[in-house]
Amino acid sequence: MKLDQLYYFSEAAKYRSISIAAEKNYISQPTLSGSINKLERELGTTLLHRSSRGVTPTEIGEVVLEKTHQIFDNLEEIEEVVALAENRGTVRIAGIPCISDRIIPQTILRLKELDLDVLLSMTSCESIQAVNQVASGEASLGLVIHYSGIEKTVGIHYQPLFRDEYILYVGPFSSYWDADAIRLDQALAEPYIAYGEEFKRNNGGLTEILGKRRPNIVLRTDENEGLKRMIAQDNYVAFFPRFMSRDDFYYTSGLLRGLPISDAEMVFEVGVVTSTKYKIDRVSKVFLDILNRTINCDSEIWPCIN
């Protein structure tokens, strides 16, 4: 019995399909199927029920699957203990783009002060995508904007971190460049650049705040840097968080201005999601602890929940 046999068996059980498990692990279907067959021969029992609709663990297969998870959990703990002993590790994060402008860099600085060699692997995505990545085990932590029903998501634990508010970013070519504030109806009438799936579905934050109201969307992009560059070079606008984007280069260099909305409350909540199915590794726990300290220690945060 080999670890790769147990791993491929657990992957087939996870996806309820040998072909999908093979695709997810970048190997051929016969190779994965043959590995499981060999494991069954060595154990002298059938671990999976096979049908045209996929595979499911047998009764004894469920027992072996549970023991397999324990084995791999123990192996991960061994790796974590060694990594922590040498002050190193990898934190896999899926999060909204603006979180990396201020909070993540400050958190990394505090980690360096503790002499922790942490490799941060961060994927920028929308909140729902971040939640899905944590739920599937692709990411250890998800930094998200709260949306209705997030607490009820199966396999997910949500913890609020802080509140922020949306302001409207305008460039020098905007007719509101010299304004101190802007009304919501005026903001929604301006040529708007939408990010990702914004306003296509209810993904929390701005979409929930505005309800049925929608801006005048003229462009849509998944590239956050390009979005800000277009605002700086034309009369486009877009909503950005006041706190999280405060250290943004375009803002601090004067290429963009942030206008508060004078007649509407644009407050939203940012939180972290972890998996209740997959155990969070120790280095991610350390990172999360430092992240909370970073938020609590920043006296300028607006306003902190904790």
β-pair partners for 77? none
pLDDT for 273-292, tens place per residue? 999 888 787 778 888 888 88
Average pLDDT, the chain: 87
| pLDDT of residue 74 exceeding 90 | no
- Which pLDDT does position 76 carry in this prediction? 72
β-pair partners for 274? 157
- Which pLDDT does position 306 carry in this prediction? 45
- Which pLDDT does position 200 carry in this prediction? 80
Half-sphere exposure of 62 (CA within 13 A, CB side): 3
Provide, rounded to the nearest whole percent, the portion of the chain with pLDDT above 70: 90
Which range is most confident: 20-24, 229-233, 301-305? 229-233
| pLDDT of residue 298 exceeding 90 | no
**Cβ-contact 217, 199 below 8 angstroms:** yes
With cut-offs at 50, 70 and 90, classify the pLDDT of residue 84: low
Q: What pTM value is reported for the model? A: 0.67
- Which pLDDT does position 293 carry in this prediction? 82
The three-state (H, E, C) secondary structure of the chain, written as one string: CCHHHHHHHHHHHHHCCHHHHHHHCCCCHHHHHHHHHHHHHHHCCCCEEEECCEEEECHHHHHHHHHHHHHHHHHHHHHHHHHHHCCEEEEEEEECHHHHCCHHHHHHHHHHHCCCEEEEEEEECCHHHHHHHHHCCCCCEEEEECCCCHHHCCCEEEEEEEEEEEEEEECCCCCCCCCCCECHHHHHHCEEEEECCECCECCCCHHHHHCCCCCEEEEEECCHHHHHHHHHHCCCEEEEECCCCCCCHHHHCCCCEEECECCCCCEEEEEEEEECCCCCCHHHHHHHHHHHHHHHHCCCCCCECC
- Please return the burial class of 70, using the count of CB atoms within 10 Å of its CB with bins 0-12, 13-18 and 19+: exposed
Amino acid in position 168: L
pLDDT for 34-70, tens place per residue? 999 999 999 999 999 999 889 999 999 999 999 998 8
